[in-house]
Amino acid sequence: MPATVRVVDPVEWSTDSLRLTRYAFQPSPAELDAGRNLAQGKLYARFSRTHVLYEDDAPRATAMVWRMHQHVRGRLLPMGGIGGVATDPAARRGGRARQLLTAVLADMRDQGQVVSTLYPFRPSFYERFGYAGLAQERRVRIAPAALLPLLRLDLPGEVTLHRHVGVAGEIQRFETDLAAAVPGMAVYDDPDGELLANQTAEWAAIARVDGRMTGYLRYSVTEHGGDFDARRFLYRDPVTRSLLLAWVARHTDQVASAVLRLPPGETPETWVPDAEATVEAKVAPMTDAAPMARILSVDGLAGIDAGPGEITVRVDDPLIGGVWSLSGGGTLSVATGGTPSAELTGPGLAALVYGALDPAELPLRGFGSVDEPAAATLRSLFPRTPSHLVAHF
């Protein structure tokens, strides 16, 4: 019987899909709580689509697509965030994941999603599906005592402490608003923060200036003498950053270190003098994967920010392949047809749109054929810029 791929309902998610993802990503064997799993499946179904590949009615592979929006060069575009890609161990190395992902990509495009991102188990695998690598976020480990000078500053605003579940809606609305100013940032299509409220319990230290939320830390404390571990450290301006770092300083006699996630390009060595800190961007398959992104619709890119220039490119990609004329000078215009002066693969186009690679690097990666005049035009249209996905899924 041939394999089929279809979108499953919450009941099937809680059995067929969850069994595969639990085996792939969590300690096992583990007992399944059918009632809790079904409730979680009903919640997730409102914000995602789960695909399962079946053979002889048996689930063999699965993937979940979160409905999100992402900042891509000045616009918030509909985005599909892929997570939970898993294959039954008995069915691995047989092409099931390839068949599944081919169907998932087409479905995302049909659902109107313009771009897609994911965290790969192996980047080279997803390059074959049109994904290009993005910058990895940084982490800084710093002793709270190093930040004590910030407590002496006369800063406007205040920081208040909450359980994150109680302020999930406010956090979600803040992140959605902030994403309009942070290249690469993605947010769930979840205005009330239901997904955040459903996550593992954490603290939320919210900074407000003139009564308006301007940043927050979402964190847990591992133990006395352990780590202040912040999964989110987001802020609008340097004042808010200092307010939140001063909050970390208040834990000087409670924890030994603070671990903060940072966007690419942040420089914690400039925060305070004489601080000892370790900044790293670890990249490793399975455990510390850097995000990847691809384009699902070239037409859908129309209106993003673009510098001056005009060029026609041939894109070699099963989903968005064709000849495309691109012109800028403020915002991007997209048309079909013309005589191409450059050849791009799917990852090549994604790397340019997301500002991850210079056009001259594309031939070195096998992402296209670009001569110097074409590279100059593409460099003008799509200047290098770091993207910070922020969301993890």
Residue 265 has a pLDDT of: 86
AA identity, residue 144: P
Contact 184/132 with Cβ under 8 angstroms?
no
Residue 178 has a pLDDT of: 98
Three-state secondary structure call for residue 249: helix
Of 21-30, 174-183, 323-332, minimum mean pLDDT range: 21-30
State residue 111 phi and psi, 5-degree precision.
Answer: -80, 0
Is residue 171 very low, low, confident or very high in pLDDT (cuts 50, 70, 90)? very high
Residue 152 has a pLDDT of: 96
Sorted by sequence, the CB contacts under 8 Å of residue 376 that are 6+ apart come out as 359
Residue 386 gets which letter from DSSP? -
Contact 317/347 with Cβ under 8 angstroms?
no
Of 29-33, 77-81, 132-136, 184-188, minimum mean pLDDT range: 29-33
Residue 286 has a pLDDT of: 85
Contact 324/296 with Cβ under 8 angstroms?
no
AA identity, residue 164: H
389 closest CA partner among 365, 367, 361, 356: 356
| Mean pLDDT, residues 26-36 | 87
257 closest CA partner among 242, 277, 243: 277
> In the block, which residue shows the tokens 């990509």?
105
Residue 2 has a pLDDT of: 85
Three-state secondary structure call for residue 311: strand
Q: Using one digit for the tens of pLDDT, what is the confidence trace for 96-130?
A: 999 999 999 999 999 999 999 999 999 999 999 99
Is residue 1 very low, low, confident or very high in pLDDT (cuts 50, 70, 90)? low
Rounded mean pLDDT of the chain?
96
Strand pairing report for 4-7 and 138-142: unpaired
Q: Using one digit for the tens of pLDDT, what is the confidence trace for 34-75?
A: 899 999 999 999 999 999 999 999 999 999 999 999 999 999
Distance between CA atoms of 218 and 238, rounded to whole angstroms? 18
Tell how far CA 68 is from the center of its chain: 10
Residue 389 has a pLDDT of: 97
